[in-house]
């Protein structure tokens, strides 16, 4: 349980800075360059945290499942579900 408490602190800080220069111009482009074509593919995002990468994958039409130990996972994926899959 200690790991989850510590990770929740890190996850909340990452969520606060997920739109910073490093993420926007270095991390995200570097990770995206490794994905290749993801449309209609099943993707497992392990350690998905706030869902930053999952959201991009969903926008590229991947079928994403995410897993993480942080409490943010339930909230984020519910939000992504409402935003991306509402009719």
pTM of the predicted protein model: 0.65
Domain membership of residue 45 as a residue range: 2-85
Query: Greater confidence, 3 or 20?
Result: 20
Distance of CA 52 to CAs 18, 39, 47, 56, Å? 8, 17, 11, 7
Both tokens of 48, joined, read 């998905």
What CATH number is attached to the domain comprising 9? 3.40.50.150
CA angle 2, 14, 49 (to 5 degrees): 65
pLDDT, tens digit, 9 for 90 and up, residues 42-75: 999 888 777 788 888 999 999 988 877 766 655 5
In total, how many domains does the chain have? 1
CA angle 7, 46, 26 (to 5 degrees): 80
Q: Is the pLDDT of residue 85 over 70?
A: no
């Amino acid at each position: 349980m200690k790991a989850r408490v510590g990770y929740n602190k890190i996850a909340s800080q990452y969520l606060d800075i997920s739109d910073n220069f490093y993420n926007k111009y270095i991390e995200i482009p570097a990770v995206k360059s490794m994905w290749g074509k993801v449309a209609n593919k099943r993707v497992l995002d392990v350690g998905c945290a706030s869902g930053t990468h999952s959201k991009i994958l969903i926008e590229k039409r991947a079928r994403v499942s995410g897993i993480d130990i942080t409490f943010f996972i339930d909230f984020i994926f519910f939000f992504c579900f409402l935003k991306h899959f509402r009719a």
